[in-house]
Amino acid sequence: MIVTLTPNPSVDRTLVVDQLALGAVQRASSGWSEPSGKGVNVSLALRTHGIATRAVLPIGGLNGTRLAAMLDKAGIDHVNVPITGNIRTNVSILEPDGKVTKVNEPGPTLSADEVEALLDATLRAAAQASWLVGSGSLPHGASPDLYARLVQRAHEAGLRVAIDSSGPPLLMALPSGPDLIKPNAHELAEAAGRPVTTVGQAIVAARSLQERGARTVLASLGADGALLVEEGSVLHAEVIVENTQSAVGAGDALLSGFLAGGASGQLALRTALTWAATALQQPGTLLGADIDEDSFKLIFHDRPQPLRRLRAD
């Protein structure tokens, strides 16, 4: 069982246009809505591949009712923590070349009691879990130490914890010793306080976050694949996808595949990139169960090339 906490979930609306023209009225060729939020996306990917998961999230307002119904339809075991505010709606505008313009609402403001109820519900839901994942931005009203408290309480209960966030919530979680963090290149640079434009700089930045408490760093490097920095080892692998539809949700698929693959070593990284490649070939955030390994190329570097420049975040 892998339990996910999504403090600021959403209903995601995707609209497909031929070309986005700012300031103009346009017609979408298609559109759809999905349950979302980074932790929700992790649970959806895990559920698709038959791995037991449970999603914990605040639910409130008409959007909250809609989100809960979507999770029911997707077959996701979820724990709803009632709040008075309305869950946010995010909008993605997708162009044929895979470019996505995303507009995220700020989401509801949670009271101190609602935040505590969310933490309590998460720890109860994860009592028998193999991993607990805290993922995404924090809602208004939540202290930036929410993930730090989550890690502390989870470790007291004997749970392993992965954190996928950025800014103060990630930085404040580091001293608590999260078992895994999953920043992208930009988040890695921001957290380490140093530039990350080469593989070598990414390794140095990841090591600095380990020195501050993180045990394992799985860094998503966009077009340059992913970097896995564990105690005593570094792995770098990339995946070449010819038919990229959308990068939305690819990082969540990467984290899901890594946990599903055992959360350590080459097999886990291979599974992570395989799931990410599948996500890149789909227009929405929902991950398909069918993996066509002939549709992408996976390359492992026996020795990471420190001077190699990164092509994307």
Provide the token pair at 218.
Answer: 């799985």
Contacts of 152 (CB under 8 A, 6+ apart): 176
**Secondary structure (3-state) at 15:** strand
Element (H, E) at 180: strand 180-181
Candidates 252, 292, 294, 302; catalytic one: 252
**Beta-sheet pairing, 160-164 with 180-181:** parallel
User: Which residues lie across from 112 on neighbouring strands?
Assistant: none
**C-beta separation of 180 from 210 below 8 A:** no
**C-beta separation of 260 from 313 below 8 A:** no
**C-beta separation of 224 from 311 below 8 A:** yes
18 is catalytic: no
Query: What letters, b where the CB count within 10 A reaches 16 and e where it falls short, cover 257-287?
Result: bbbbbebeeeebbbbbbbbbbbbbbbbbbbb
Looking at the annotation, which residues are catalytic? 252
